[in-house]
Chains A and B, each alone.
Chain A
Amino acid sequence: MMTTLAASTLAEFMNGYVSPELALMLAALFHAGVLLLVFAHAALIFIWLERKVSGRIQDRLGPTRCGGRFGWAQGLADGIKLIQKEDLIPRDADAFLFRLAPYLACIASFGGFMVLPFAADWVAVNLDTGLFLLFAILSLEVLGIVLAGYSSGSKWSLFGGMREAAQMVSYEIPLAICGLIPIVAAGTLNLTDVGQMQVGHFGNWFLFHDPFTFFAFFVYFTVATAGCKRAPFDLAEAESELVGGFHTEYSGMRWSYFFMAEYASMLLVSGVATLLFLGGWSTGLPFIDQPIFVDLKSWNPGIGPEGFVLGSYISNLIGMSVFLLKSSFLVFVQIWVRWTFPRLRIDQVMTTCLKYLVPMSCFLFLGATMWPLLMAMGKGQKTTIWPQPLGDRTVQVHEHVLHPINEPKIQIADRGEQTVDFSETPVIAKEAILTEAMHSPSEQGIQP
């Protein structure tokens, strides 16, 4: 129950046709395949976008001919060219690690999509520790880069790898702290729950939850840009001083794997930003969100095989489109920043992180934890300025949207018949006792 996997539902769906073991395996394969498509298309589309946007910013047209209008097939043409290239390995390289490093970078950035929900029910693995695992996987990408830099047997690569290691080790700290700030408000690390809490009015988005989350978004986005080693923080490649940095010695497909990983992790961190701050799949307009994400879910015209709810499918499809649109916009901003700002020096990069971003994120985190107290003192029980109270939303998430068909719900009305005195009990014990009392009505008169 705790891990309500989409995989398990798909597996349950297939249970009737094949054995449960095979169904689970097929479901896992299916999810991995879909995510691989997302991973590959992210690189394809965003590399094209990068070329177009950089062209426009530099008063050029960018690719125009390949594939007809707008040069949309430029990425494909690049891919075909890269496959044909010779796979060079320098004589001084540690060949085993040199060959392996690109895959390591790719796996780390691909793995993050495993726990990223694209819509309310569309997530490969729905974990209660979703964000934590995502940050853990994201932190592994640096290993591929560092090993690539080391194993190339070239001084440019080694410098690039060392810079990357220094940069990533420093930037992971504010990244995790900024990710925690909306989590403090949400009270859950489950990314699906976090997304679902922000459905409705755009005041529900955690960006507008309190001033600290508002500023945390911008700090997070800066740090995430640096985490993807994008300009102005791309010191690991820095072609003007290090030739190509960690990928100087790479060619052909191995070289392109690094870029696939980079563009996919751009989408990944933007997706996390969307989920944590920008409302996930919610459109921000209650008169659209209500019919799409709540009412449509139960609409079942009975088309398709048993267990397939068409309304829920359409609702998730729209949710995913909204989510990807928002994330892509953030990727666009990253591209925009890359072609607008000059590159920093390595010492400036480290100063920006250690002297400015870390203290800022610590202050914001502290503020975010104090905020509910402040609001509770000033405005009674309400912990937000004008959006719907979080507590209501949490209850909604658990009661209506996330698990519409659940085990028998606890009737709050039953509470009246119990005589439980809570006045002296800590909150956690209070809830535990309450639930215990509700679950076993036979044990009357429990006194803490």
Chain B
Amino acid sequence: MNGGQVLFGIFALLTCGGAVAVALTQNVVRMAFWLIVSLGSASGLFFLLNADFVGATQLLIYVGGTVVLLIFGVMLTTSGPLLKIPSSPGELIQSAVVGVLFISMFFFTVWSVDWEHVANTARVHDSTTDTVALQNDTTGRPIGMAFLGVRPDRDLGAAEGQPLSTGYFLPFEIVSMHLLVVLIGAAYLARAKRQITTAESRSEVV
């Protein structure tokens, strides 16, 4: 067992343990805290996989952004009945059924995969032949190039006169536009809806 595996064990345990604690805790703010633990450890798993960008994004968006907003929202509504959320027996049974079903599906899927084959394929694809060197030091993965609409993995070495392969530039842009629309929509829905109180309306009339 090497250091990487030990670290993986710690992060995986924290991720799962945090998730279980979210489900078991009844206080909303503590739930948010355990969510931080779980999501933060998931980003640790990404760092272990050398996926720095994904790990940093996980920290920024989930831990930094979402959880701050969550806590912020909780604190604004903290005095109400929402502070403690006890689960009724019916809810417990429901969630247990859904959870067990999900986990069985998960196990079934994991066991039905030929992992040795996958690992061997991944090793082949991991080799540097798959990476397109851009400059001395920078490399671009085919997927990144494809998002820019360029397919050097297909077009390089293709026969002359063949049409260029298509990338994913248009879908990528459509997704971006979709996100922008969602953002604007959210801002529109969350805008301050000013209610004119009677005193104000009276003064306006006067």
Query: Is A347 an interface position by the 8 A CB rule?
Result: no
How many chain B residues sit at the interface, stated as a range, is 35 or more
Residues of chain B within 8 A (CB-CB) of A97 are: 29-30, 33
Query: Is A405 an interface position by the 8 A CB rule?
Result: no
Determine whether the beta carbon of B50 is less than 8 Å from that of A432. Answer: no
Residues of chain B within 8 A (CB-CB) of A147 are: 29, 33, 71
Determine whether the beta carbon of B133 is less than 8 Å from that of A428. Answer: no
Determine whether the beta carbon of A136 is less than 8 Å from that of B152. Answer: no
Closest approach, in angstroms, between the C-beta of B98 and any C-beta of chain A? 29
Taking a contact as CB atoms closer than 8 A, the residue among A136, A398, A403 that contacts B64 in the complex is: A136
Determine whether the beta carbon of A128 is less than 8 Å from that of B52. Answer: yes
Query: Is A341 an interface position by the 8 A CB rule?
Result: no
Q: Assess A139 versus B64: contact at CB under 8 Å? Given A3-B50, A165-B75.
A: yes
Q: Mark B52-65, 1 if CB is under 8 A from A, else 0.
A: 11011101100111
Query: Is A243 an interface position by the 8 A CB rule?
Result: no
Determine whether the beta carbon of B135 is less than 8 Å from that of A165. Answer: no
Q: Assess A428 versus B150: contact at CB under 8 Å? Given A21-B2, A436-B133.
A: yes
Residues of chain A within 8 A (CB-CB) of B76 are: 162
Q: Which of B20-57 contact A (CB under 8 A)?
A: 27, 29-30, 33, 36, 50, 52-53, 55-57
Q: Mark B139-179, 1 if CB is under 8 A from A, else 0.
A: 11000010010101001110010000000000000000000
Q: Assess A150 versus B59: contact at CB under 8 Å? Given A140-B64, A169-B72, A426-B150.
A: no
Query: Is B69 an interface position by the 8 A CB rule?
Result: yes
Query: Is B19 an interface position by the 8 A CB rule?
Result: no
* In the complex, the 8 A-B pairs of residues with the closest C-beta atoms, listed nearest first: A139-B64, A136-B60, A133-B56, A136-B59, A435-B133, A432-B152, A165-B72, A136-B56
Q: Mark B75-105, 1 if CB is under 8 A from A, else 0.
A: 1101000000000000000000000000000
Closest B residue by C-beta to A141: B64
Query: Is B137 an interface position by the 8 A CB rule?
Result: yes
Determine whether the beta carbon of B145 is less than 8 Å from that of A432. Answer: yes
Determine whether the beta carbon of B68 is less than 8 Å from that of A146. Answer: yes
- In the assembled complex, the Cα of A446 lies from the Cα of B148 at a distance in Å of 21
Determine whether the beta carbon of B156 is less than 8 Å from that of A433. Answer: yes
- B contact set with A: CB distance below 8 Å: 2-3, 27, 29-30, 33, 36, 50, 52-53, 55-57, 59-60, 63-65, 67-69, 71-72, 75-76, 78, 132-137, 139-140, 145, 148, 150, 152, 155-157, 160
Query: Is A142 an interface position by the 8 A CB rule?
Result: yes
Determine whether the beta carbon of B78 is less than 8 Å from that of A436. Answer: no
A interface majority secondary structure: helix
Determine whether the beta carbon of A127 is less than 8 Å from that of B134. Answer: no
Determine whether the beta carbon of A431 is less than 8 Å from that of B135. Answer: yes
Q: Assess A143 versus B56: contact at CB under 8 Å? Given A151-B29, A426-B150.
A: no
Determine whether the beta carbon of A432 is less than 8 Å from that of B134. Answer: yes
Determine whether the beta carbon of A133 is less than 8 Å from that of B148. Answer: no
- In the assembled complex, the Cα of A197 lies from the Cα of B56 at a distance in Å of 24
Taking a contact as CB atoms closer than 8 A, the residue among A132, A151, A158, A410 that contacts B136 in the complex is: A410
Q: Which of A284-340 contact B (CB under 8 A)?
A: none
Closest approach, in angstroms, between the C-beta of B55 and any C-beta of chain A? 8
Query: Is A94 an interface position by the 8 A CB rule?
Result: yes
Q: Mark A130-166, 1 if CB is under 8 A from B, else 0.
A: 0011011101101100110111000000100110011
Q: Assess A140 versus B63: contact at CB under 8 Å? Given A97-B29, A146-B72, A432-B132.
A: yes
Query: Is A85 an interface position by the 8 A CB rule?
Result: no
Closest B residue by C-beta to A162: B75
Closest approach, in angstroms, between the C-beta of B144 and any C-beta of chain A? 10
- In the assembled complex, the Cα of A130 lies from the Cα of B158 at a distance in Å of 37
- In the assembled complex, the Cα of A89 lies from the Cα of B149 at a distance in Å of 59
Closest B residue by C-beta to A24: B3
Query: Is A129 an interface position by the 8 A CB rule?
Result: yes
Determine whether the beta carbon of A3 is less than 8 Å from that of B27. Answer: no
Determine whether the beta carbon of A150 is less than 8 Å from that of B135. Answer: no
Taking a contact as CB atoms closer than 8 A, the residue among B56, B67, B134 that contacts A132 in the complex is: B56
Query: Is A69 an interface position by the 8 A CB rule?
Result: no
